[in-house]
Amino acid sequence: MDYNKITKEDIEVLIDILDDDRVTLREDINEDYSHDELAELKAFPDIMIEPETTEEVSQVMKFASKRNIPVTPRGTGTGLCGGAVAMEAGILLLTTSMDRIIEIDEENLTAKVQPGVILMNFAEKVNDLGFMYPPDPGEKSATLGGNVLTNAGGMRAVKYGVTRDYVLGMEIVLPNGEIINTGGKVVKNSSGYSIQDLIIGSEGTLGIVTEITLKLVPMPKKALTLLIPFDSLEEAIGTVPEIINAKIVPTGIEFMEKEVLLAATDYLGKEFPDTSAPAYLLLKFDGNDKKEIEKKYEVAADVCLENNAYDVYIANTDERQDVIWDTRGALLEALKAVSELDECDVVVPRNKVADFVNFTHNLEDKHKLRIRGFGHAGDGNLHLYTLKDDLDDETWQKRNKAVMDELYAKSREMKGKVSGEHGIAIAKKEYLHADIGPVQLGLMRGIKNTFDPQNILNPGKTV
């Protein structure tokens, strides 16, 4: 699609809307803003802006619509699919200056925030007040806006659900600059088509979210973590359906392999309770009743031991639990520190996770490419990483493409989905299109065209 290039007059208009300090020209834009965590996809915008209010975003979008200039929204750039990369140049709109926690309503158990609020800062704030925001993705430096636009899940999804389950309302600037509001502090809402649910997970292709109303829950009084070593990852993950069938609901069920665990402990410089086993499950339980939690973890421990776990280590202090979960949260950063990589974020039925992991091990041998994985065994969401190591670019690209093709084909065969929580953007478009087929793809493109007939908002992504 043809777009207009940024002119000197356009720059003057944008400076008038914002100010000199919040408008950066192409020659002054740091290389970091040309890519997200998927560093192989790079493109510079013509200009970068940092609005602070909904009205400023609205004025920018009205101007961009009038001038037919593409706009790419971006938070902290922690995505893994190229979603925040300005592939058509134009305007890169940073939301990171929109970082106010506007309100925490303790009576209604809600919070209203701007999209640039960092997840870990928000979590700490509400925790200090005795509340919890349950979505807990591994990348704590991501913005809440980014979490909403990818429908992030994380390590508490088994019990608490994903981001979509905690969004009560939004303020949205449409591609033409119009401002709409959805939902609010209400607990229930059955008022027509859910525009809000279309925006959640839309990766900035339908509108720019400028305020979010989120649901909070009371902070559980007790928490406990089990670290469970196994002889193989297949054996560990194969135990998960039996844990679920035991009618206990852990807060989270995570899996990881020894090699990734050791990389994370080296990366953090921290000792881990045990690193002797080839594979591990992490189980967390929380609640207000200590006896009830103990009853659940005892059942889970028995199930694991019956399925050949080496042992069951109990972490019942904040310090021990922090070491375990900090290490789990650092797994991706540890892999990135040792090799260039690519990611597959498939989700499959829980009883198929072990089979899928075994399939990845076969692919390693078949394509001579290292694949390492960890993820959310409790909800079937696997994070699988192909590592370039010392391969030359041509060999890496060829082998990686072959592995990715087979991983996504296997996911379709198992009735899984392309992405559990990291989105589609550019990197996974072909796999999404193969997965959903022409009818659904046509519906999605129709939705995109209704919101954005000029295709100026994050063009080239998802559909």
The residue among 83, 62, 53 whose CA lies nearest residue 152 is 83
Where do runs of H (alpha helix) occur along 209-288? Answer: 233-238, 240-245, 258-268
Element at 356 (helix H, strand E): helix 353-367
Let me know: does 38 contact 97? Beta carbons within 8 Å.
no
425: which 2 tokens? 């953007």
Pairing between strand 222-230 and 179-183? unpaired
pLDDT for position 234: 87
Q: Give 155-165 pLDDT, tens digit per residue.
A: 999 999 999 99
**What share of residues in the chain are helix, strand, coil (percent, to 5)?**
40, 20, 40
The residues facing 138 across adjacent strands are none
**Model pTM?**
0.94
User: Which residues lie below 8 Å from residue 334, measured CB to CB, with a gap of 6+?
Assistant: 260, 263, 264, 266, 267, 268
**Which pLDDT score is estimated for 138?**
86
Give every residue of the chain whose pLDDT is below 50, as ranges.
none
Tokens of 251: 């807060």
State the Cα–Cα distance between residues 4 and 329, nearest whole angstrom. Answer: 42
Q: How far apart are CA 377 and CA 347, in angstroms?
A: 10
The count of residues in the chain is 463
For 129-270, where are the alpha helices, taking DSSP H only?
Answer: 144-150, 157-160, 195-199, 233-238, 240-245, 258-268
Q: Using one digit for the tens of pLDDT, what is the confidence trace for 259-311?
A: 999 999 999 998 999 999 999 999 999 999 989 999 999 999 999 999 999 99
Separation of alpha carbons 454 and 322, rounded Å: 48
